[in-house]
Amino acid sequence: MSESAVTAIVGHDIEVVTLAQVAERLGVPRTRVSQMIKQGQLLGIREDDRWLVPAAFLVADGVVKGLPGTIQVLRDGGYADGEILRWLFADDESLPGMPIDALRSDRGREVKRRAQAMAF
C-alpha cells in the first residue's frame, strides 16, 4: 500500500488503514466510517480513489479517546484537515513526543490545551 499522500502531509511514514479495515476493526459499516470522517471523529487522507486513516487513531475498543474533541477544536480554529494531521504527528518537545502519542497514552487534556492555544 502506497503511503505517499500520508508521507507528504505528515512528513514521515506512518501506518495507514483503508475505510474497510477501519470498519472491520470498529465493527461498523463502511458508510459509518465515512460519516465519522465528515463529522470530525476521525481524519482521513484521500489517495487516488480511496481514503486512508492513520492506524494510530484506532485502539482496540474504538477511536483514540480525545481525538474527536481535538479535531473539533482545531477545525473550529480554522485549521484544515491536512494541517491537523501534520500537527498530530509532529514532535512537540513540551509533551514530549507527538500529540497523537500523548492522546494514546491518556494525556488528552494536555493535547487539547495546546490545540486550544493554537486555535486562538
pLDDT digits (tens, 9 = 90+) for 76-95: 999 999 999 999 999 988 88
Q: How far apart are CA 41 and CA 83, in angstroms?
A: 16
Q: Model's pTM, two decimal places?
A: 0.89
What angle is formed at CA 46 by the lines to CA 108 and CA 75, rounded to 5 degrees? 40
**Order of strands, edge to edge, in the sheet holding 16-18?**
16-18, 50-54, 45-47
pLDDT tens digits, 35-88: 999 999 999 988 888 899 999 999 988 999 999 999 999 999 999 999 999 999
pLDDT for 4 equals 64
> Which of 98, 102, 95 lies closest to 87, judged by CA?
98
